[in-house]
Amino acid sequence: MRLEWIDDILAVLDTGSLARAAQKRLVTQSAFTRRVRLIEESIGAELFDRRRRPVMLLAGVEALAPELRDLSTRLRQVRQKLHAANSQTGSALSFACQHAITTTVSPYIVRALTARGDAPVRVRSCNQEECLVLLLSGEVDFVLTYTVPETPTPFLEGAFESLKLGDDVLIPVCAPGLRDDISSDRLPVISYPSDVFLGQVFDRHIVPRLDNEVQVVTKTETALTLAAYEFAVGGIGVAWLPQSMVVTALAQGSLISLDRDLPVQPLHIKAFRLCDDGGLQSDSAWRNTLSQIALPDHLQSHAPRGADGYPFAGGSYPSCPSAQS
């Protein structure tokens, strides 16, 4: 029985519904519902009465609430003690990051951390919500994630300490051969699910800035940026990808950028950790390494700009590109 599963069950008990429990656990309702089903499948027993609206815990599970709370407290205490002991004896330092950041940013972080000659570094790759769960449960020391400038993060600011490490830009790219197939009113897109970070960025910050006459045609959907990258190279559609991920492909010509014709979105690269983290090794990594790390130029602010010098990410946009260069 995992600690986060117990906390999920208690969240439903405390709030009275799956929707409010999802808010308390800082995840979307769809993601929380999937986690609930995973818990039931792993345990091999139903925990919720789905005949009731809203869905509620079964009476027998509610009766176990005192034991679950006690178990949650004891497991958390044991985990904290083990983490503190490991930090003092030089065991592995752990951090989690979004999938795209795993391939573009984490190598620089790992190089800086291992250059100190300390213990090995463990890297976890997952979506933004899962990164937060790992941090809250104490399974990682800190997380690396994208955030949208001037937009509230899903993290409770009072409970977390943050460092801005660099910048990136989400840009539209496609295979060179696809350009002629893109009309002014039809845009074939490789999309992200609406319940993952880049899907939310696309829905909230890209789509509203497309020309009203543009019809977005989803060719395929994936939560993995590496998969979206391969689909774009294969000529399936236009993908919005971090510019840091496609630097080489753009230079080699296997992808072309449409950032002069379609919206882009600047992103911050940030590190988050729990406030008052008492681990000696974690604190040293945070204060002596992350706070001083310098990422390369392609991971710094470089939002494309128009002829007037104004970033496309904040301006207005023409319709979907035609065959013009």
Pairing of strands 160-174, 265-274: antiparallel
Q: What's the pLDDT band for 285 if we cut at 50, 70, 90?
A: confident
Does the CA dihedral 188-228-32-143 come out positive or negative? negative
Residues 6+ apart with CB under 8 A from 61: 9, 47, 48
What the block records as the tokens of 110 is 């790992």
Gap between the Cα atoms of 96 and 114, Å rounded: 16
Q: Which residues contact 313 (CB under 8 A, 6 or more apart)?
A: 169, 263, 264, 265, 266, 303, 304
Q: 10 Å Cβ neighbour count for 212?
A: 5
- Whether omega for the bond prior to residue 54 falls within 30 degrees of 0, making it cis, is yes
Buried/exposed code over 73-82 (b: 16+ C-beta within 10 A; e: otherwise):
eebeeeeeee
Check: pTM over 0.75? Answer yes or no. Answer: no
Domains in the chain, ordered, with CATH? 3-76 (1.10.10.10), 90-163+272-299 (3.40.190.10), 169-266+303-314 (3.40.190.10)
User: Tell me: the pLDDT tens digits for 144-193?
Assistant: 999 999 877 655 556 778 888 889 999 999 999 898 777 667 899 999 99
Average pLDDT over residues 273-299: 71
pLDDT in tens, 45-74: 788 777 777 777 777 777 888 888 888 788
Nearest residue to 179 via CA among 255, 265, 263: 255
The answer to whether residue 252 scores a pLDDT higher than 90 is yes
Q: pLDDT-derived band of residue 324, with 50, 70 and 90 as boundaries?
A: very low
Q: How confident is the model at residue 304 (pLDDT cuts 50, 70, 90)?
A: very low
Three-state SS for 31?
helix
Residues 288-302: what's their mean pLDDT?
Answer: 69
Q: What percent of the chain has pLDDT over 70?
A: 82
How far apart are alpha carbons 127 and 97 in whole angstroms? 8
What is the average per-residue pLDDT within 249-259? 94
